[in-house]
Structure 1
Amino acid sequence: MASSESHRLLGIDWGSSNRRAYLVDAAGTCLATRADDQGMLAVRPDFAGSFAALVAAMGVDPAIPAVASGMVGSAQGWREVPYLDIGVPLDALPDHVVRVDDPRAGRPCFIVPGYVQRGEHVDVMRGEETQLLGAVALGRRDGWFVLPGTHSKWVQLADGVIRRIATFMTGELFAMVSAHGTLAPLMAGAHDDGSAFVAGLDAARRGAPLSNALFGVRARVVSGAMPAAQARSFVSGLLVGTEFVAAVGLTGGGVPPTCIGSPVLRARYARAAVHFGTTLAGLDPDRVYCAALARFLDRIPS
């Protein structure tokens, strides 16, 4: 490896729908970044060609190694990488990457494994483990973390080891009911409405079964009890609130959870947290991802 590039790494957060790449130095400082919609579902089966195009677009030197995390390591991804048991410390992640050699890629790429939780509460994650490693690298080794998104994760860490994973399909359900079925026409074109979001949180806290509460949105609109323009925010509050009802039972109070998510999602979850009697600390997902990459840089196998 050329000496001028010996302390740089290209990291790719490669999910189902989107992809974000970061070029970092040994301190985890982001030197360049690029985001696109070339997630797993868009590029398969040509992962190598898509990877090569991304690297070329960023102008990354051929001597710089690459690490990818997320759904790229799933059974539908570039190469399936077995899950690690949650007993494996996050600090050990760089020791378990799997090398993918594909001539079309132009260089090796190392894929980060996800984690599996077995026993009574079976659960899995791919991608979030790298963000959690970044949180550990930034000194957040203990407590509960929430990573909102398509599949929102609540994760408990104890000294950098995962003790519990709980996944909620909040984002996916919101996307589905927004695009298909009875509620979709009511939710189309509506703007964010803070009071409707809070009303949805309240509905979740009252404990009605989710399918019943979702139909209640239609009933409110057609009966004139709620304007259709509020349906979208009400559903958002209902789904996020349902997540919080369960999560509050998991966490048991104490030290406030830390939210790793975009500013928009952090703000939404912070508002929900206050409504449920707690607060959220916040970490920027780009910052934690780059901090994690710094941990990989000197431990990528040759």
Structure 2
Amino acid sequence: MSETPQPHQDKPDRVTPDHPEPDQHGSDQHGSEAPGSVAPASVDPRTGEDLSWKSTPVAIVLLDRPAPGHREVSELLAEIFEGSYEVDPGTDDDPATGVYIEDATVVVTPLDGPVADGEASRYTENLAIWNGGEGVVDTHRSQIVVAAFRLGPVGDDGEPGEPEYLDPRLDTLRCELAVTTVTAALTALPGAIAVSVGGAATTLPAGPYRDLVTGNPLPVPALVGVRAGMQSETTSCVYTSGLGRFGRLDLERLDVAGPPGAAFGQMCDLVAYSLGSGTVFQPGQALEVGGPQPLLTSVETSPFTGQQVLRLTPG
């Protein structure tokens, strides 16, 4: 591929210095509890196709107060999206608010209770963007679930099958971006403190999430988990989580000479290029990224998540 475009992703001023080194993660430590780990996606037993692209795109706004009523939610969205997107207000009988973005239907549902099992807090781990302030996530008292639904062909029963009527990569990206658009608007609600994206194993502060979405056509860290940190005294490492939702293997780099901030930025640029251009990196491919050497790709088992990833190494 040609030199990777440089989208203006917001990068943290510093990265977590105690990022886990690869040799600190034995195979018995992998799984949903590991930072950046996403539960294994469902697989079509007939074709072996990774079906995570068929999961419903969801983000959750976390608030440190009781859940807002449907009127507060509807009025905010109507004010922000006036003239851009149709907003279908919730009612006392059906408090969910609908937002129609092109042919995606985004449903917004307030829930008066925290995210279960500490998942939202767990997904803050090793994200430098928190700069030590991730404890605020534990204070959340309510949530607003934002979900986008695809419109399939007449008679589609939702069962796994050949995706003849859509490209899973492009369709999922379209729906995920619709979710980010509505979610970013909801962070303007009083008491919004964070946004949790379970499919990316990532929880971000509300303000930076909003800035990412409003400032980038492809806000990579709001769509995909990107974690970078020091691997040794002189090298860094970086890996992603959640790219399976876009029909791709997650990416990983180990033993990168230089600071983790640079590795983070380059990884964001690679993901943005892949998603924005529709390019799917393949094992054995050489990626020209503007450095002195191309990056060669190979399928490996991640020392961070225990799942198959596409590892990038200098060629």
TM-score range, shorter chain: under 0.3
TM (norm. structure 1) is 0.22
Where relative contact order (Cα < 8 A, 6+ residues apart) is larger, the structure is 2
TM-score (norm 2): 0.22
Structure with the higher helix share, 1 or 2: 1
